[in-house]
Amino acid sequence: MTGTLYFLSLLLLVFAGAMTLPAAVAAAEEKGTAALDFLMIAALVAFVAAGSAVALRGWRKRFDRVQSYVLLVAAWITLSAVGALPFLTVGGLKIGDAIFEAVSGLTTTGGTVLTNLSTVPYALIAWRAELQWMGGLLTLLGLTLIPAPAGTGGLPDRYIRLVGIEGYRDRQRVLAAMRDITGFYTVVTLACIIMLMATGIRPLDALCLSFSTVSTGGFLPINGTISSYANPMAEIVLMVFMLIGATSILWQRMVLLGRMQMLRQHRESYSVIIVGAVLGLLYAAVLFRAAGSSSALSPWQALREGLFTAISLVTTTGFEVREAGFAVLPLTLVLFVAFAGGGTFSTAGGLKHYRVGGMAIQAYRELGRLVYPHAIRPAHFFGSQAYDIQLMKAIWSFFVAAIFVVALGSLALALENINYEGALIAAIASFSNIGMLYSSGWLPIDAPHWPGYSDFNTHTKIILCALMIFGRIEVLALFGALNRTYWLRR
């Protein structure tokens, strides 16, 4: 387990260094106590992490597949616990609220227990935005280094070499992936910050919005919705970068490298964009019809709001351009889109279009066999990697595990005196890492509303946190980490 502990120590060191940003924001706000709290937590975490790394020097750091799964699970749990410390010290939150806010941020879910951000120190707002950014990066690194090479859940691995880690082994492979993926992710974030500032968004808000957008997180640095900024150009920028966050990093590398043949074959990212566009037109049509006239809502504004809402839903970001924006369309359709999520090798949550496409292709082939039993049909749809029998077994295994987790989670939430419809939405929202979906106002105005995240008891919040983490570790990785036979033989 030395390899697991070593890499976990490296992650904790990065976490400690990240706390200097909110400390600087606190210092700029002339809140010396908050800045000191952040620096003390950072120093403590860095001391423990550095001590562990030094203690492991000279030890062999190779680890097998099960240990890599353990690292994945341990990283999400440990970093969430560390991320909760500033919410306890600076924010004064209760431990259950602090853990929920940290897990929601790190898993890029975006559900929050903070009901009035005007009373929250901006350093803490910056920290939870940064948590989302680091969670998006952790998602990309985790997928690239652990589940994808192992084919967990049917993840496509044919083009994994495009990330730039081909030929490396163990420690060097991890460091190479951290270097290449982090560099690309940082450049995209900086581009988003610059473009938001060019539209008139103030620098600190642009920083927090960019962290939330590129990671498809959903935390806002202000009360209300995106429309509170009254900045249509900023909304267009956010739409572009939400799509970048939810499309495959492999596809993006193909674009940069000019691999035109691969671009034509790798169709999953096009699927994410097309679904967002079609759903956006549907949202726009419903909004325009509900407005009644172009004087109440112009066609251009309806189109912009519809596309923004749809892209936010498809990418599992969770931004809303108006209150209860997601609830404009039928609940069943919205839940299906949210559960399907974005693309593989992206920061989006959900099942991923690659898996949904694979299941659709298999269903089409099986129906075709009823008429033409001996026909030979193509098994390609999203990407050029063929959907063979082994891949479909992995995809269906992941789907069954995901359904089981969501069903069990919704049942557990319903036992906490929550309306079952609300419990189901909360479970899907947490598993697909789109927390604001639950808070979108699905009930009529005159009906009693479901309790908000801040109203849940600690037990309910822990259930939601577990669902968020399950959604980020590809579910099956947890079963791999808990492999009974492996641990009994040690």
Grade residue 363 by pLDDT with cuts at 50, 70 and 90. confident
Give the count of alpha carbons within 13 A of 474, CB side only: 33
So where are the chain's domains?
385-488
Instruction: State mean pLDDT over 415-434.
Output: 90
Bridge partners of 269, per DSSP, are none
Tell me the two tokens of residue 385: 């990697």
Measured in degrees and rounded to the nearest 5, phi and psi for residue 317 equal -75, -50
Which of 41-50, 112-121, 226-235, 372-381 is predicted least confidently?
372-381
CA-to-CA dists, residue 420 to 25, 380, 412, 468, angstroms: 42, 38, 10, 19
**Helix (H) or strand (E) run with residue 149 in it:** helix 147-150
Instruction: State mean pLDDT over 301-306.
Output: 94
307: Cβ–Cβ under 8 A, 6 or more apart, which residues?
239, 276, 277, 280, 281, 283, 284
Nearest residue to 162 via CA among 313, 401, 345, 380: 345
pLDDT in tens, 452-482: 898 899 999 999 999 999 999 887 677 666 6
pLDDT in tens, 3-45: 778 888 888 999 999 999 999 999 988 788 889 999 999 999 9
CA–CA distance, 454 with 56 (Å, rounded to integer): 41
Q: Quote the DSSP letter at residue 381.
A: B
Instruction: State mean pLDDT over 175-193.
Output: 88
Residue 397: pLDDT above 70? yes
Residue 379: pLDDT above 60? no
Instruction: State mean pLDDT over 239-244.
Output: 96
Residue 357: pLDDT above 60? yes
- Greater confidence (282 vs 251) lies with 282
Q: CA angle, corner 115, sides to 109 and 121, nearest 5?
A: 90
Grade residue 389 by pLDDT with cuts at 50, 70 and 90. confident
DSSP string, 301-336: HHHHHHHHHHHHHHTT----SSTT-GGGS-HHHHHH
Helix, strand, coil share (%) of the chain residues, nearest 5: 70, 0, 30
Q: Quote the DSSP letter at residue 368.
A: H
